[in-house]
Chain A
C-alpha cells in the first residue's frame, strides 16, 4: 500500500524534530503576570514519544499550545525559541518568529503538527457531520478533489479502527460515544500524516477500557506512520505506557527529564519521587496510609522564591532552596534534574 504522503529520507536530517529552548509563555492578567511556562527546554526526537508529566497549572498544556502558536491574549510568548525541523522547514525554523496568523504557520498546523485534546466534543462542530469535518481538514492541506477527500476520510476512520466507517462518516458528533469521538479527532489529526502529534490528555475523559483501546491505537498508528508524539498527561500510568522520554513539569518549569526507564527506576527530583509514592499501587494493597505530598500546588500568581517546590519538599534545605533557583543539570547520561541535592556532581558518579 503506497503511503498517502511520501516518506522523507531520514538521512542528513536533524535528529530532533522539535527543539524548544528556554520557552517563556506568560499571561498578563489584571491580577498580575502568570508565568505559565517559564524557561522550558524540550526535545522531541523524530518518530519518538516525549511525555510531559505534570499536575494542573504546571504549564504542560500551555507548552503544547505555544508550539502551535495557539496561545491567545492575555497569554504571550515572551522568550525562547521553538525550532521545528519539518518537511518545509528542514533547517529548523523558529516557530516563535512567525506571525501567529501567517499562511506558513497555518500550513504547518494540521499538515505537519496536529493536536488532539481531552474533550473531543469541544473541538468538533456539532452542526457538521464527522465526514464533513475530516474532509475539510484534508481539503485544506491537500490538493485533492472532494470525492478523493471523502475516500481518504473513510480510509482514515478505518485506520483508527472505527467500526463501519462508511456509516460513521454521515453521523454527527453527538451521535458518537466519547471514545468514538476521540477516534474521529485522531483520524482528523492524522489525515495529513503530520510529523508531530501533540496529544493533550487525550484519554483523561475516557473510561478505563476505552482509554486502553485509544492508547493501543495511538501506539499502533505511531509505528505505522512514523510520527513523533508529544504526550501531555498527569497520569503516571499513561506516561509509563506511552512515553520514551519524559519531562516532569512543576509550576512552569521542567524539574526532571529522563528516558522512561531511568525515570521510573531512579526518580531523582523530590517532586517526582513524591508523586510516585503518593499514588496507590495497584495489586499491592497495604493497610497503611499513602505517602502524601504536603500542601498544595501554589497559585501560579505567587510562585515561591528559589526552587518552586521547596514549600512542599521533604528534602528542603533551609537558606538554599528558598533562596536560589536550581538549574537543570545532567546527573547521569540522559537524565537531568533540577535540584540542589544533585548539584556539584552529586549523582554523576553513578553514570
Chain B
C-alpha cells in the first residue's frame, strides 16, 4: 500500500509499546503487556487509514505512541513534515517534536473529557495559536471565529464554556482545536462513537469536507466497521497488539484474507431485516493481552485453526499487491466478504 517511497505523510515501522508487569514487594518485572506489538503501516497524503479492532486490541495505545504521548519501546514513526522533511517522531528531540506537532494533531473520543470545562471556546481553540505565537489579541479572536465557522458553530458563542454545548457540538470544538495549527495529519480516535446516530453523520461529513479543503491525512481509529468503511481509503485490522490484516478498503471488506476480519464482518448487525445471516460461528472472547495464546493469537476462536496455528505465529505477509495478512492459510482460505453472509 505504499504508492511510492516519498509519497507518504506517515510511515510507522515495527512500532512496539510494551508495558512491564511488576509483582512483589520489590516491583520485580515478571512479564510484559505487548500493547502494541510490531505494527507497520503508512498513510499517503490526503488519504485515510482506518485502524479497527475491538477493545483492548491496542489501537488507542498505538495512536498515542505515534503522537509520542507515550514513549515507544522500539520502532520508527517517520513523519514527512512539509518544511523539515522526514522526522522520526519516535526519537525526535524536544525542538523537533515542537516543530512536528504543529503539523499533526489529534481528535479525541470523549467530547466530555477532551475539553477543559474551565476554559471558553476562545481559550480552548486559541491555545495552540498562542503556544506557537501565531496570533494574539483581536487577531486570535478572528482566527478562532474562522475556525468555529469552519466546523459549523456560531462564532458568537466563543466566550461560552463547553458545558453549554451538546456532544456533537463539543466534538466540533475538538476538531476546530485540532485544525487551529493547520496540520497535515490528524489522528482521530473514535471521534464518533460517543455521538448519537444522527450526529455521527454530520461529524463524518465534516471530517471528510475538511480533508478535501485542507489536504489532511487521517489515521482514523474506530471499532465501528461501517463508519471505518465509509471514511477510509485503507484499513488495518488489529488483534491483541498486532495488525493481522491490511488492505485497501474495498478488498478488505469484500475479499478478506484473515479469519478474524471475516468474523468481524460477519458479526456486524445489519440494518436490513431482509438479510438472512449465515454467521461465521466465532467462539470465545478476546484474550488477555498480558497472556496472549501461543502461536496465532486468534487460534482459540478461529473456525479454521489447525495444529500449526497453535504452535507457530504466522508472519504478516503480502498475499496480493498491497494486501497483507497474518494467517498461515491466507492464500488458501476462501473467506467471505461483507455482502456474502
Give residues in A with beta carbon < 8 Å to B.
55-56, 163, 177-180, 207-213, 215-216, 234-241, 260-261, 264-265, 274-276, 278-283, 285, 289-294, 296-297, 312
What 10 pairs between A and B have smallest CB-CB spacing? A237-B269, A280-B230, A212-B267, A292-B201, A207-B54, A278-B201, A236-B271, A282-B226, A283-B338, A290-B201
Q: Report how far A292 CA is from B204 CA in the complex, Å.
A: 9
Give residues in B with beta carbon < 8 Å to A.
54-55, 166, 168-169, 196-202, 204-205, 208-209, 223, 225-227, 229-231, 249-250, 253-254, 263-275, 277, 279, 282, 284-286, 301, 337-339
Among candidates A275, A289, A294, residue contacting B208 with C-beta atoms closer than 8 Å: A289
Q: Report how far A178 CA is from B196 CA in the complex, Å.
A: 22
Check A279 against B226 for contact (C-beta < 8 Å): yes
Check A208 against B201 for contact (C-beta < 8 Å): no
Check A285 against B253 for contact (C-beta < 8 Å): yes
Check B198 against A241 for contact (C-beta < 8 Å): no
Check B199 against A285 for contact (C-beta < 8 Å): no
Expressed in whole angstroms, the minimum distance between the Cβ of B153 and any Cβ of chain A is 12
Check A279 against B269 for contact (C-beta < 8 Å): no
Among candidates B200, B223, B250, B265, residue contacting A285 with C-beta atoms closer than 8 Å: B250
Among candidates A211, A238, A283, residue contacting B253 with C-beta atoms closer than 8 Å: A283
Other A-B contacts than A208-B225, A264-B274, A296-B168, 15 sampled, CB-CB below 8 A, are: A55-B196, A177-B285, A210-B285, A216-B279, A234-B197, A235-B269, A236-B271, A237-B268, A240-B269, A264-B272, A281-B271, A282-B225, A282-B253, A282-B268, A292-B202
Expressed in whole angstroms, the minimum distance between the Cβ of A189 and any Cβ of chain B is 20
Check B270 against A296 for contact (C-beta < 8 Å): no
Nearest B residue to A261, CB-CB: B273
Q: Report how far A101 CA is from B337 CA in the complex, Å.
A: 53
Q: Report how far A238 CA is from B305 CA in the complex, Å.
A: 29
Among candidates B231, B265, B271, residue contacting A237 with C-beta atoms closer than 8 Å: B271
Q: Report how far A264 CA is from B274 CA in the complex, Å.
A: 9
Q: Report how far A264 CA is from B339 CA in the complex, Å.
A: 18
Residues of A close to B227: CB separation below 8 A: 280
Among candidates B166, B168, B226, B272, residue contacting A280 with C-beta atoms closer than 8 Å: B226
Nearest A residue to B271, CB-CB: A236
Q: Report how far A215 CA is from B266 CA in the complex, Å.
A: 13
Check B286 against A290 for contact (C-beta < 8 Å): no
Residues of B close to A236: CB separation below 8 A: 197, 271
Nearest A residue to B338, CB-CB: A283
Nearest B residue to A287, CB-CB: B208
Among candidates B198, B269, B301, residue contacting A55 with C-beta atoms closer than 8 Å: B198
Nearest B residue to A299, CB-CB: B166
Supply 15 A–B pairs (Cβ within 8 Å), ascending by A.
Answer: A178-B55, A180-B285, A209-B263, A209-B267, A210-B54, A213-B282, A234-B197, A237-B271, A241-B270, A261-B274, A274-B198, A279-B197, A279-B271, A280-B229, A291-B201
Nearest B residue to A55, CB-CB: B196
Residues of B close to A291: CB separation below 8 A: 201
Among candidates A237, A240, A296, residue contacting B166 with C-beta atoms closer than 8 Å: A296
Residues of B close to A207: CB separation below 8 A: 54-55, 223, 286
Nearest B residue to A242, CB-CB: B269
Among candidates A235, A275, A285, residue contacting B198 with C-beta atoms closer than 8 Å: A275
Residues of A close to B229: CB separation below 8 A: 280, 282-283, 285
Residues of B close to A212: CB separation below 8 A: 266-269, 279, 282
Q: Report how far A241 CA is from B266 CA in the complex, Å.
A: 13
Check B338 against A278 for contact (C-beta < 8 Å): no
Check B273 against A211 for contact (C-beta < 8 Å): no
Q: Report how far A265 CA is from B229 CA in the complex, Å.
A: 24
Q: Report how far A213 CA is from B280 CA in the complex, Å.
A: 11
